[in-house]
Structure 1
């Protein structure tokens, strides 16, 4: 039984690390891609005669950061905030509940 518990603990820890890794990859891609998009848009707008402030604070430049930023925020909430609200063992409780339901239905 001790081996089973340690295996389950390892799987849970590995799952948490994987979720955290996916978030950090998502965050890194967000900054890299949005920086490239912003740079291209600013250079294009500067060539069209706009000032740097006009080019930088253009709605189409800001909206890219904003919309994807909302997605990053939701992802961050699912990784960091949801366990705070539901509790660290929420997944385990749900699994046990469904397993109990299945055993009763058999």
Structure 2
């Protein structure tokens, strides 16, 4: 097995990626529990003539879920949004702009 130093660039990038994945999983757990709780509260507050299948009860889970889906794509699909190439180009651009002054 290869000896990996904590100062190694690959190690630091892998560590950063693991933190992003962990953050995504925590967001999914929070999403599930909060939305179950909110749907439960909405169900308890229903009046006799209402049904749980009204659109207003699912707006929050839907839009929050769409945001979570996009966040998952950013975490698991490298370069999906402002990827590595963009970062390198932006760093070079900022360095060139700074050298002009």
Common topology (TM > 0.5): yes
Q: Give 1 or 2: higher helix fraction.
A: 1
Q: CA RMSD in A?
A: 3.3
2:39 corresponding residue in structure 1: 38
1:75 corresponding residue in structure 2: 71
Q: Which runs of 5+ in 1 are unaligned?
A: none
Q: Which runs of 5+ in 2 are unaligned?
A: none
User: Given the two structures, how large is their TM-score scaled by the length of structure 1?
Assistant: 0.70
2:48 corresponding residue in structure 1: 49
2:95 corresponding residue in structure 1: 102
Aligned residues: 94
Cα offsets for 1:41-94 (capped at 9, x unmatched)? 01111xx1146xx22x1212111111101110110111012x1658x8x26x71
Give the deviation of 1:102 after TM superposition: 3.2
User: Given the two structures, how large is their TM-score scaled by the length of structure 2?
Assistant: 0.73
Partner Cα separation in structure 1 for residue 74 and residue 49 of structure 2: 40
